[in-house]
Amino acid sequence: MQKQEIFDFINSNPVLYIATAEGDQPCVRAIALYKADESGILFHTGPVKDFYRQLVANPNVQICVYNQEQNIQVRVRGKVERVEDIALKDEIANHPSRTFMQKWKANCANPEDFYQMFSVFRLSDGIANVWTFESNFAPKQDVAL
């Protein structure tokens, strides 16, 4: 797979399994992708969560995306950064996949409270590896994103 094919694969399989660390313990969870493109892989979480604290303390992560029907797994490793962009937060909150966020916004006394409820993270300049059963024993080929 080339870079654009990897972005297309990730966007078509929007459940990300993200590995972080807390101390010397690995932590993995599934989260919903917002989007993947040339700007990076974007997702969000709440600042009250352990996940958020782990990302801030150690921004090195690995993301895994799997499609069982195709038997393809894409893993992307790299560093995440917090993105403080109100326009991006509005875009996310207004996206059809994030209708649940409209209730959050409606319950806030002022917009700033809403924007503090979630943080956006971006993994840019990641390194991807594609795995299939057919390529199981072949050397890994890094694809720069």
Q: Where are the domains of the chain?
A: 3-84+119-144
Residue pLDDT, tens place only, 119-143: 999 999 999 999 999 999 999 999 9
Topology classification of domain 3-84+119-144: Pnp Oxidase; Chain A (2.30.110)
3-state class of 94 per DSSP?
coil
Residue with tokens 């799997």: 66
Backbone angles phi, psi at 58, to 5 degrees: -145, 100
pTM of the model: 0.94
Residue with tokens 């990300």: 16
pLDDT at 93 over 90: yes
What residues contact 123, with CB distance under 8 A and at least 6 apart?
Answer: 40, 41, 61, 63, 76, 78, 79, 80
Residue pLDDT, tens place only, 31-80: 999 999 999 999 999 999 999 999 999 999 999 999 999 999 999 999 99
Q: How far apart are CA 144 and CA 29, in angstroms?
A: 24
